Structure 1
Amino acid sequence: MNLALTNTAQLQQLIDQEIIVMQSLTQLLDEEQQVLVDNESEKLENITPNKNMLLAKVIELEKNRSELLLKSGYSNDINGMRQLLAANPSIQVLELENTWQSLLDISSLAQEKNRTNGLLINRHLNKNQAALNVLQSGSGHQAGSMYGADGQSKLKPNAGRGIVAG
């Protein structure tokens, strides 16, 4: 039981860390959503590396939690966590259960925010694709004949034949 209590204390610390990281991720997803709503996609360059770093930290903490569950004799998934909590009805485990539920709640919130941001990104991509299609089809010209690969117009003004006022 001493090993179980030690592992429970370590699990508590890991889950506390996971909650902190997930809260940071949730805040960042809120920022990302605002950038997407405000159509300031250039700001995504600052958000994306931070999001990737937080996601890497979440994965690392999840891996550590899984290893600790296995070390405690439980499966390294949500069922193993449930079994651990059910098998040890101590004050320390009740605190762990509350912390675990907090992690599940914040993770669910982050997942929903990420899903919403994905929808916003797809909406922007569809708008951009529609704009590109319009530019490429160009008012009666053959598709793609309006602009070259360098972004410059392929349509050349009639040299020497300008409008003469007078």
Structure 2
Amino acid sequence: MNTLLFCIQNETDAMTALVEVLGQEQTALTQAPSLPLMEEINAVMQRKNQLIASISQLGHTRKNELTRLGFKHPETSMPEWLQDQAQVECWAKLMKLTRKAKELNRVNGLLITKHLIRNQSTLQVLYQNHGSTSTPSLYGANGQSNTQRSTVRGFIAI
């Protein structure tokens, strides 16, 4: 089998796995936060990082193979190399998966931003009556909770 085609097929397999992992991440990001869910998201993110590293390495291997075959500009040489229908279809599938992964990653970034904003707003409400512009310490130097009383929306913290 053509080495370059084999490289593209490996990239396609890895990109397919990345799209699946990004879908899992999106599902987790749309659920109510919980400790088990956070652990799941961490595991998904580790797998995502591994796949991204793998895809990057496979891309370098493909570019090196194009260079070995005599193409001077490996980044733009793919149309010159695609010689039969199987090669064209494999490259088109990889490009389609890449676009899908990019869109999933964009949406996941928006979901993460939404979670961060909500968490920051929640912390701001908790700290609003502290009277300090910096993040207050909920615990004193001795490791015990501060005895200063503060009221936040009907709750009294002691």
TM value normalised by structure 1: 0.76
- Larger-gyration structure (1/2): 1
The equivalent of 1:82 in structure 2 is: 79
The equivalent of 1:94 in structure 2 is: 85
* Structure 1 or 2: more helix by fraction: 1
Offset of 1:153 from its aligned partner?
Answer: 4.2
The equivalent of 1:142 in structure 2 is: 131
Query: CA offsets per residue over residues 98-136 of structure 1, 9 Å max, x none?
Result: 100000000110111011101100110111111111111
Quote the RMSD (CA, aligned, Å).
Answer: 2.2
The equivalent of 1:120 in structure 2 is: 111
Q: Distance in 2 between matches of 1:62 and 1:149?
A: 53
Q: Distance in 2 between matches of 1:115 and 1:129?
A: 21
The equivalent of 1:154 in structure 2 is: 146
Shift in CA distance, 100/148, structure 1 to aligned 2, threshold 3 Å: same
- Pair 1:28 & 2:27 matched: no
Counterpart residue identity of residue 147, structure 2: L
Matches of residues 67-78 of structure 1 in structure 2 within 5 Å? 67-74=64-71, 75-77=73-75
Unmatched segments (≥5 aa) in structure 2: 150-158
Counterpart residue identity of residue 18, structure 2: L
Q: Distance in 1 between matches of 2:114 and 2:69?
A: 46
Q: Distance in 1 between matches of 2:30 and 2:6?
A: 36
Counterpart residue identity of residue 113, structure 1: L
Matched residue SS, 2:42: helix
The equivalent of 1:62 in structure 2 is: 59
Tell me, yes or no, if the aligned pair for 1:29 and 1:114 is still in contact at 8 Å.
yes
Unmatched segments (≥5 aa) in structure 1: 1-5, 158-166
Q: Distance in 2 between matches of 1:135 and 1:51?
A: 34
Q: Distance in 1 between matches of 2:80 and 2:140?
A: 60
Tell me, yes or no, if the aligned pair for 2:140 and 2:146 is still in contact at 8 Å.
no
